[in-house]
Copies of this chain bind each other. A is one copy, B any other.
Amino acid sequence: MAYFRKHYHAPGTAPGTLVSAPESPLPLSIELLDYTGERVEELALRSAEDCKPFLDRASKTWIQVNGPVDPQTLRNLGELFDLHDLALEDVLNAGQRPKVDLYDDQMFITTALPVYHEGRLETTQISLFVGENYLIGFCPLATDPFEPIRKRMRQPNNRRFVTREIDYLLYALLDLIIDEGFPVLEQFGDELESLEAELLERPDQETLGAIHRLKRELLIMRRMLWPQREMINSLMRIEDHLVRPDTLVYLRDCHDHTVQIMELLESFRDMATGMLDIYLSSVSNRTNETMRVLTIIATIFIPLTFIVGVYGMNFGNPDNPWAMPELRWTYGYPMVWVLMIGVTAGLVWFFRRRHWL
C-alpha cells in the first residue's frame, strides 16, 4: 500500500486532458436503468452512444459505468450530457478528495467507497454526475457496488423509491457508500480489541507494526471522511432545484451517519495513539523486570564468587603464619559457608526492603 496514491498529469498539462489509465484486465460495463413511477427498464449498453434514445424522454435515467473507463467513452458521454472537461479529468485521475462541484444545470460529485479486504483498507473513487433527470455513475471496480439499490428499485411493491425524483437515487447511492464505513469501522474496532489484549499481555515488535499499520489506515480513512462530511453538508446547503426539500431529511440522516463514523474514527485514533504509549511503557516495564532478575542474581553471586576466589589463592604456605591461616583451621571450610550464607541472607533482606523479591 503506497502512501501517495493520487494520479496526476505532469505540471503544466492543459486542464481537461484525458489520459488513459494503465492497461487493466478488468472489463468495462455500462448499465442503464431507466425508470418512472410506473416501470423500471434495465439495459446493458455496448457503447456510450446507445443511451441517446433515453436522453429526451421524461423518465429518469441512471447510467452506471463499471470498470476502467477509456477516454473515448468518457468524451462521448461528455458530449451527450454536456459534462465539464475538468470534471471528466477528475473521473480518470483517481484519488480525488470527495467534493461536490456545481455547474450550470448539473452537479459533479466525487466520493470514496471504503472496502476492508484481506486485512487491508482500500478506497475506490466513485464519481457521479447528476442532472435534472439523469445520474451517471463511474466505479473502477469490476462488480457493481450498487446492486442492493438496483434490487430495491426492481421490487414491484416498493413504488416509493421509483416515484421520487433523481435526487432520491443520489441519496440512496451516497447512503450506501457512507454506510460501507460501518463494517470497516467494525473491523477496526475488532482489531483494536485484539491489539489491546496482546498489548497488555505479550507485546512484541509485531504488535508495534500492527499498531502502526492501523494508525495509518485510520489516517487514510480520516482523510477520506472529512471532505465527505463537507460534501454532504454542501449538498444540504445547495440552493438548487437539483436537491429537493423533501430529500433534505434523508441527507440529514446521511450527514448524521458521517458524523458518527468520524467521531468513532477519531476515538479509534486516540486509542491507537494511546496504545503506542502503553507499548512503550510495557517494554520499559519488562526491561525493568529483566534488569531486576539480573541484578538480584548478580548481586548475590558476585560477592560469593569473590569469597571463594579468596580461598582459591595459593598463599597456603603452611610454614608462614600470615599466609591464610584460615585454610589450616579445623572449621575453616564450614565458616566460609556460614559467611556466604550470611552475606546471602543480608542481600535477600536488602532486596525485600526494596520490594524486589
Contacts and interface: CB of A to CB of B under 8 A. Distances in A.
Contacts of A317: 327-328
Contacts of A4: 185-186, 188-190, 264
Contacts of A116: none
A199 to B, nearest CB: 8
Q: Is the interface of A mostly helix, strand, loop or mixed?
A: helix
A260 B5 CA distance: 12
Contacts of A151: 12
Contacts of A147: 12
B312 A313 contact: yes
B212 A278 contact: yes
Contact of A208 (B152, B216, B252, B282): B282
A48 interface: no
B314 A149 contact: no
A202 interface: yes
B282 A280 contact: no
Nearest to A314: B316
**In the complex, which range does the number of interface residues on chain A fall in?**
35 or more
A190 to B, nearest CB: 7
Copies in the complex: 5
A271 B190 contact: no
Contacts of A84: 249
Contact of A286 (B189, B274, B288): B288
A268 interface: yes
Interface stretch (A20-28, A132-140, A300-308): A300-308
Contacts of A294: 291, 294-295, 298-299
A193 interface: yes
A152 B315 contact: no
Interface string A216-235: 10011011001100000000
Interface string A314-340: 111100101110011011111010000
A313 B264 CA distance: 69
Contacts of A291: 287, 290-291, 294-295
Contacts of A14: 152, 158, 161
Given A294-B295, A312-B312, A267 B219 contact: yes
Closest 5 A-B residue pairs measured CB to CB?
A: A12-B148, A4-B189, A308-B309, A11-B179, A3-B189
17 contacts: A3-B268, A3-B271, A4-B264, A11-B148, A11-B175, A12-B151, A15-B250, A103-B249, A200-B209, A222-B267, A226-B263, A280-B284, A283-B288, A287-B287, A305-B306, A308-B310, A322-B330
